[in-house]
Amino acid sequence: MFKTVEWTRNGVVMIDQRVLPGVEVYRTYKDYKGVAGAIKDMVVRGAPAIGVAAAMGAALGGLKIRSNDPAIFKKEFLNVCKVLAATRPTAVNLFWAIKRMKDVAARNDTCGVAALKMLLVAEALAIHAQDIAICKRMGRHGGKLFKNGYTVLTHCNAGALATAGYGTALGVIRAAIESGKKIKVFADETRPFLQGARLTAWELQKDGIDTTLITDNMAGYMMKKGLINAVVVGADRIAANGDVANKIGTYTVAILAREHRIPFYVAAPLSTIDLKIKHGDRIPIEERSSKEVTHIQGKMVAPKGIKVKNPAFDVTPNALVSAIITEKGVVRKPYVKGLKGLFD
Ligand code: MRU
């Protein structure tokens, strides 16, 4: 089984998701700047995985600080966190994980720099281990929503590659299958970065899960034909009212699901829920390079000089979301109350 992000004696090791499924290459990052670059360039991607990588990057950054003076350590550590936080703006798990690391530093500012370094490493390892456990719990709750024989559509990659392991949306699918149900998957290819074609198809095929790849514009046709029983996607940030930011194209799938009376589920850990943001329109949406749209696998597929837009995420209004699956259970409307209740 592959490892998405791993803490090793040599540094932080990540499977390079940019080159999957063609080659399975692992890259080792020995300093926090390398980890920040890997997040920005999408060597590692997916909200929970980004959080885990950032935590490990912060631990690595902490370890490399030379000074034993607590005040200098604090200043330099906060700078490490700042660099890691400036990598990608939408997935709130990144900021959630960095805050956990900063909180450890703040709580233990009198224990000495050497001890604090060890605590930071321990916190990053805990975030990693907890993420896998959380995905499994989410899977147990969400798996019950699928009946035996269901075909489930998913968008982007919310699997083991997008988390420390097991996955959010794909974790729900995995759990349903592990409970003995026959579940088939339709995977949207997910232009422009092709997380569905390259990553979801790859990891589900590796697991022997019955998976059919479609291009994004085929989802409506499949639904009309009665070939899809439910949709399950992950999330990058969920506002207090249940609006969901996820990979561009998710909103379109949600509208299609509503039109065809198919349940639209979102699976996400509590670390993806941002109660400070009231509505989805306040969620910062990352705009990525135009090259992701004009080129496929390095080959230009559009005329030179054409104007391009490339928002990496969209926001699905809460009205279109049938339920949000978390590690603490399944939340339904009204989301303001249900989501807040998860933190009480
Ligand atoms: O740009 P990406 O590949 O980081 O976007 C990933 C997604 O949108 C996922 O669906 C989301 O992070 C949930 S992952 C469990």
**pLDDT computed for residue 297 by the predictor:** 83
The architecture CATH gives domain 5-136: Up-down Bundle (1.20)
Over residues 240-281, the pLDDT tens digits come to 999 999 999 999 999 999 999 999 999 999 999 999 999 999
Tell me the CA–centroid distance for residue 49 and ligand 1, in Å.
Answer: 9
Cβ count near 275 (within 10 Å): 15
**What average pLDDT is seen over the chain?**
98
Using the atom order of ligand 1, give the atom closest to the CA of residue 246.
8
Question: How is domain 139-341 classified at the architecture level of CATH?
Answer: 3-Layer(aba) Sandwich (3.40)
Determine whether 188 is an active site residue.
no
Strands (DSSP E) along the chain, which ranges? 5-8, 11-15, 26-29, 151-154, 184-188, 211-214, 230-233, 237-239, 244-247, 264-267, 273-274, 295-296, 299-300, 313-316, 323-326, 329-331
What's the confidence (pLDDT) of residue 214? 98
* Of 236, 243, 274, 314, catalytic: 236
DSSP 104-116: HHHHTTTS-HHHH
- What pTM does this model have? 0.98
Q: Does the Cβ of 203 fall within 6 Å of ligand 1?
A: no
167 CA: nearest ligand 1 atom: 15
3-state secondary structure of 173: helix
Identify which of 279, 215, 222 has the alpha carbon closest to the alpha carbon of residue 249: 215
What's the 78 CA to ligand 1 centre distance in angstroms?
A: 26
Task: Give the model's pLDDT for residue 44.
Answer: 98
> Does 162 sit in the ligand 1 pocket, CB within 6 Å?
yes
Tell which residue, 48, 49, 308, has the closest CA to residue 191.
308
* Pocket of ligand 1 contains residue 246 by CB under 6 Å: yes
pLDDT digits (tens, 9 = 90+) for 302-342: 999 999 999 999 999 999 999 999 999 999 999 999 999 99
Q: Where are the chain's structural domains?
A: 5-136, 139-341
270: DSSP letter: G
Shared fold status for 5-136 and 139-341:
no
CA of 68 to the centre of ligand 1 (A): 38
Distance 213 CA to ligand 1 centre (A): 18
Residues of the chain with pLDDT under 70: none
